[in-house]
């Protein structure tokens, strides 16, 4: 290494470059535990300066450790994810915030890529299998927390239901799928060929006694094959999966390997979900796998999407569920006298709500529970009815805001004054559009432009402002976090 370094220094001199020796880092790679203070403690000297060895170093944003076990990196990824989760929590709660579709996008496009950065390298073992569960557990936990924010769900909501309703696959499957796709895509890449060449050279030189020919004894009897690199192992595993998918549809039109891996992911996920579903009866478990449940939430404001999710999973603050999880002092009976206050009872039979229910459901036209919660029109009516019924305290503020009259300019008059002042102090309009600086009230369509990038209605805006109050009021009850 010292001789290689002196060649580098010679090159630098010729080209007028300079290196900073204080930035040098040295790491040994080994999984041997026999002699941690022997070989792994040896260092190199450059210009009389000793370079100490490290146990982990950061390479292109990935924390590389001595044994290539990736524990340090996974910990850092989870920490990064926690920060992103906090940010997501600031703009998302169960009854206010951007729509489910948009907050889902925030998770899949911002939070998840941050925590899974470089997982093609650290997310697979050399034999192409996924890493130990202890490595993935913090990431699973993190995804679960984020999806609860996205769907407005309670803490007790089963992870499988969260993933299904939000259409976000389990994080370990997603990681494996991503790594296998990456391996397939880089099969013919020149860098892949170069890595193979270098690894082969290193392996051959290691099998050769110092200064001599390769050891003949080994080669003739039982040649020791070079162990696969993580990339090669993942690629082999990916090809096995692609082959399996091709065999599942004999005679069918052969799909590309990437499409086949997509199908593999979907199938694995379905199998897990079916096992979890068991004999559970809530609408989410009854819905056929081929139906995209997340489409039901399209077009609903956050609080109604939350209501629909609660109805579909049946994990919500109705007496039957609260009693089943042992909330003290809760009787599972409905105040109307029925033995259990369940989603089925309140949505189809409870006499207390017969009138309001008829008002919402006459337009939906579905009379069975599963049908009511699995077709967009009636599911939206059911969600609207639940938020308006007053059965769950968490929606009371959202209802107040809905009933509030925000049509007139009076409520936003102070904004009008503010924009007028800003308009005189600046050369350009404060919000990019000239219509805002002319002192026109921010109502109707122009009010939509107020929060850039996240489409919200004026009532949702108010809901956001009042968010802390909502958060406080439902933190007291046994309702969603
Ligand atoms: Zn009842």
Per-residue pLDDT of 444-459, as tens digits, reads 333 333 333 333 344 4
Query: Which of 37, 54, 71 is the last residue before a domain boundary?
Result: 54
Say how many Å lie between the CA of residue 335 and the centre of ligand 1.
6
Say how many Å lie between the CA of residue 346 and the centre of ligand 1.
6
Structure tokens given for 254: 């052969």
Q: Per-residue pLDDT averaged across 260-285, rounded?
A: 90
Say how many Å lie between the CA of residue 345 and the centre of ligand 1.
6
Does one domain contain both 122 and 260? Answer: yes
Say how many Å lie between the CA of residue 299 and the centre of ligand 1.
30
Say how many Å lie between the CA of residue 96 and the centre of ligand 1.
28
Say how many Å lie between the CA of residue 277 and the centre of ligand 1.
27
Dist CA 380 CA 400 (whole Å): 19
pLDDT digits (tens, 9 = 90+) for 385-394: 888 888 887 7
Residue 340 lies in a domain: yes
The yes-or-no verdict on residue 312 having pLDDT over 70 is: yes
Say how many Å lie between the CA of residue 333 and the centre of ligand 1.
8
**Residues less than 5 Å from ion ligand 1, measured at CB:** 334, 336, 338, 350
The yes-or-no verdict on residue 255 having pLDDT over 70 is: yes
pLDDT digits (tens, 9 = 90+) for 192-248: 999 999 999 988 887 766 555 555 554 555 667 888 888 888 999 999 999 888 888
Say how many Å lie between the CA of residue 354 and the centre of ligand 1.
10
Does one domain contain both 233 and 144? Answer: yes
Query: Which of 17, 34, 54 is the last residue before a domain boundary?
Result: 54
CA dihedral 106, 111, 116, 117 (to 10 degrees): 100
Residue 223 lies in a domain: no
Of 89, 69, 86, residue with least CA distance to 78: 86
pLDDT digits (tens, 9 = 90+) for 345-367: 888 888 888 888 777 776 555 56
Does one domain contain both 269 and 167? Answer: yes
Dist CA 19 CA 262 (whole Å): 46
Q: Could you give the percent of the chain with pLDDT greater than 70? A: 77
Say how many Å lie between the CA of residue 332 and the centre of ligand 1.
11
Does one domain contain both 119 and 138? Answer: yes
Does one domain contain both 43 and 68? Answer: no
Say how many Å lie between the CA of residue 388 and the centre of ligand 1.
16
Q: Per-residue pLDDT averaged across 74-102, rounded?
A: 84
Does one domain contain both 47 and 62? Answer: no
- 237's CB contacts (< 8 A; 6+ apart) are 124, 127, 128, 129, 180
Between the alpha carbon of residue 194 and those of residues 29, 151, 186, 187, 259, the distances in Å are 20, 46, 12, 12, 28
Say how many Å lie between the CA of residue 351 and the centre of ligand 1.
6
pTM: 0.74
Q: What angle do CA 463, 465, 468 make, to 5 degrees?
A: 90
Say how many Å lie between the CA of residue 366 and the centre of ligand 1.
19
The yes-or-no verdict on residue 21 having pLDDT over 50 is: yes
On average, the pLDDT of the chain sits at 77
Say how many Å lie between the CA of residue 252 and the centre of ligand 1.
53
Structure tokens given for 88: 């997501």
Q: Per-residue pLDDT averaged across 413-425, rounded?
A: 52
Residue 386 lies in a domain: yes
- pLDDT at position 211: 55
pLDDT digits (tens, 9 = 90+) for 282-293: 888 988 888 888
Look up the domain containing 27 and give its range. Answer: 2-54
Does one domain contain both 346 and 198? Answer: no
Does one domain contain both 343 and 271? Answer: no
The number of domains in the chain is 4
* Range from 322-326, 346-350, 397-401 carrying the lowest mean pLDDT: 397-401
Say how many Å lie between the CA of residue 386 and the centre of ligand 1.
14
Say how many Å lie between the CA of residue 481 and the centre of ligand 1.
26
Residue 214 lies in a domain: no
Query: Which of 376, 403, 430 is the last residue before a domain boundary?
Result: 403
Residue 286 lies in a domain: no
- pLDDT at position 213: 54
The yes-or-no verdict on residue 477 having pLDDT over 60 is: no
Say how many Å lie between the CA of residue 259 and the centre of ligand 1.
49
Does one domain contain both 43 and 62? Answer: no
Say how many Å lie between the CA of residue 350 and the centre of ligand 1.
4
Residue 216 lies in a domain: no
Q: What angle do CA 194, 197, 199 make, to 5 degrees?
A: 110
Residue 218 lies in a domain: no
Does one domain contain both 60 and 199? Answer: yes
Say how many Å lie between the CA of residue 375 and the centre of ligand 1.
24
- 424's CB contacts (< 8 A; 6+ apart) are none
Residues paired with 26 in a beta bridge: 53
Say how many Å lie between the CA of residue 380 and the centre of ligand 1.
21
């Amino acid at each position: 290494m010292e001789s290689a370094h002196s060649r580098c220094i010679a090159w630098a001199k010729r080209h007028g470059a300079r290196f900073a020796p204080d930035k040098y880092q040295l790491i040994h790679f080994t999984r041997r535990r026999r002699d941690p203070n022997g070989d792994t403690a040896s260092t190199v000297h450059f210009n009389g300066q000793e370079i100490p060895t490290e146990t982990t170093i950061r390479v292109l944003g990935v924390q590389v450790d001595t044994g290539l076990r990736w524990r340090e990196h996974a910990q850092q990824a989870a920490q990064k994810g926690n920060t992103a989760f906090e940010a997501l929590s600031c703009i998302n709660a169960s009854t206010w915030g951007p729509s489910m579709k948009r907050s889902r996008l925030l998770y899949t496009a911002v939070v998840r890529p941050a925590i899974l950065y470089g997982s093609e390298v650290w997310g697979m073992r050399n034999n192409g299998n996924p890493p130990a569960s202890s490595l993935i557990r913090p990431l699973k936990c993190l995804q679960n927390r984020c999806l609860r924010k996205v769907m407005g769900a309670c803490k007790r909501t089963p992870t499988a239901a969260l993933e299904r309703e939000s259409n976000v696959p389990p994080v370990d499957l997603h990681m494996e799928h991503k790594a296998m796709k990456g391996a397939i895509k880089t099969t013919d890449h020149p860098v892949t060929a170069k890595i193979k060449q270098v690894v082969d050279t290193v392996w051959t030189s290691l099998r050769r006694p110092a200064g001599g020919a390769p050891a003949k004894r080994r080669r003739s009897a039982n040649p020791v094959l070079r162990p696969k690199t993580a990339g090669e192992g993942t690629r082999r595993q990916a090809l096995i999966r692609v082959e399996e998918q091709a065999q599942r549809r004999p005679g069918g039109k052969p799909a590309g390997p990437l499409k086949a891996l997509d199908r593999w992911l979907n199938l694995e996920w379905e199998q897990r979900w079916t096992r979890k579903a068991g004999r559970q009866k809530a609408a989410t478990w009854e819905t056929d796998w081929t139906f995209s449940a997340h489409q039901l939430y399209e077009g609903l404001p956050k609080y109604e999407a939350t209501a629909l999710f609660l109805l579909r999973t049946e994990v919500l603050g109705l007496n039957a569920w609260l009693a089943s999880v042992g909330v003290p002092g809760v009787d599972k009976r409905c105040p109307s006298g029925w033995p259990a206050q369940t989603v089925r009872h309140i949505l189809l039979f409870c006499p207390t709500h017969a009138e309001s229910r008829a008002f919402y459901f006459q337009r939906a036209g579905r009379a069975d529970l599963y049908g009511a919660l699995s077709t967009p029109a009636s599911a939206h009516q059911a969600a609207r009815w639940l938020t308006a019924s007053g059965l769950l305290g968490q929606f009371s503020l959202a209802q107040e805001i809905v009933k509030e009259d925000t049509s007139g300019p009076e409520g936003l008059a102070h904004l009008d004054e503010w924009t007028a002042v800003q308009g005189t102090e600046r050369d350009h309009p404060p919000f990019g559009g000239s219509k805002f600086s002319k002192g026109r009230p921010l109502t109707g369509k122009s009010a939509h432009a107020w929060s850039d990038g996240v489409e919200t209605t004026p009532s949702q805006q108010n809901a956001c402002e009042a968010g802390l109050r909502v958060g406080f009021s439902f933190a007291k009850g046994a309702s969603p976090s």
